[in-house]
Structure 1
């Protein structure tokens, strides 16, 4: 109601001056009369000027008389024209002024009704936050959203060989419910072939077996699989997994990205921007969340009322260390050099897990992890690689060479 009072008041304030201007009396020929009055004043001044010139001797008496006669004649003509002019006052009829006011106010109301949103209620910030909280609380569950939306497409088109191996692994784990490595391998490969529901069910078994030892990545992977199974929707169950991931590692990129997505889906773009902008600034080109954030963050900022310019994309370089890096490594202590190598290996591992890679890269990752003493992880990746490259014996042989170098096979 407050809006309508203000809107109608503004319309009235615009219409009233126009109506008053129409009702103001107007004198016919007023401009012409003003011109003649000015002419008569000029002629009177000229007569005075003639008298002064005669007194100073500038004009002779004869010339002064001729000038007076001419100026007086013009003065009389101007006076006669003004006296003979009849003036009449005119003003617009009251119904015309009223009609103009009604047209202005009515036109404004019609235009707003046609282009605006008359039934849209006022939404102060507190009300918008309350509505967002209601939307978040009333989201459908994971099971409900899976029946409403199709899941995301698979990471790669599965072949018959891979499907057969995953089915065999699935069957084997029915008799080995506490096989941690088997469930890890099953969760990853169910996700690869697009069986995201089976993937997150296997990942739930991973968390069950690990118990308190479950990491932030374990929970982030669970949320990732649940969101993919829901076609990109962040359900309450997925949010719970994200919360547990961030409790263990507040800097977990996957959990931060999906938490921002959840806020965007529930009407809090301001919270999404607060999460995504720092994450984007601190990420590398290889991080899987960089591309989706860059595609959405400007629209998110606009929805949040924030001025934001997307920075240039980071360089997507997959090359090895530069000459400067090598020179710097030569001056490092053995501990710092080991940490640098571990960082490069972690980068390669993240890229292969999210974007895939060549058999040579998988082989190098397995051997590098073994060199760093992370044999268990190297064995997990070797098991995963056997499923991924099972349909290509040549690539599998390349990866096997890395596993042999790591001491995982004979």
Structure 2
């Protein structure tokens, strides 16, 4: 608490110094009046209240009380100004006195009314308890907000805000019901419809209702990023790989090249192309003339994958064993992925250009590669929680005795 009060006092003094500096020479004809300065301060405080209300950090009742208090103080200061002017006190001096008194007291009053002074007293070693308390407070505030909205059925923005709050808390059924009560606001906003569809997908998957909401969103905004991602994911799960690639390609065009998001989408596109047999046709090789010989066979990497004995009981029944090869330049985009059904351990494997994710980036084009083995319950190239995996191994082209051991759970 001591450090907080010292910091708050310093900030208040700095603010006062900046505000009072122009008044040090006394009154002048071009000087800003006390009323104008106070009005500016009240506008800032009112803007802050509006922001807190919009973010859901302040209830409507508390907002009304604080706004009324601000208006009352503004009226009192305006009336006091006339009395001060009548006694001949210079305007600059009156303004300085008002700022020196009102600003610290007003800030302190607002903090103790709207803030949480007790949170400062929490000890440093009670971080976990404080976090649980904060979560409980959030749950309580959301519940209070929901109860208030029951008396305001046409507060569509409020219902939309409540839906997002429930979704952030992982309370998806309540979030879906709140979104449904946002009325015409829901039907006119692609972003809100996508949030609603995402919530439905979390509770009931990509069923007919979810897809209907998603299509309505993309009809309003065909380039809505999350909508493209969700529809592509739904198509991928339905093994409609061409549709998935189409949506994900449209999403990829909106992402920054080389970003983590772009690399993740590129990996999913490559996986969908491979599973759907949609990879571009190989480039045509030039005909060999009489004086030319066929190129030498591309090098391969061979080895075996073993699953540690302590993970035997954790292997998913329908899991897929994957050997993933990436370049050593830091890129997360695989150059080759080998998928195989789980069988007896160890599994012998061979990595060659036939497993390339793209004809333009073949394993044989890299002198060294980073390879890892993973057991995926979902069968996706991107790692998922619950996957079994092992350490990454650096190999060279032509290595024949590579050993990969799966001994960890993600």
Between Structure 1 and Structure 2, whose CA radius of gyration is higher? 1
Superposition TM-score tier, normalisation by shorter sequence: 0.3 to 0.5
Higher relative contact order (CA 8 A, sep 6+): 1
Q: TM-score, normalised by structure 2?
A: 0.34
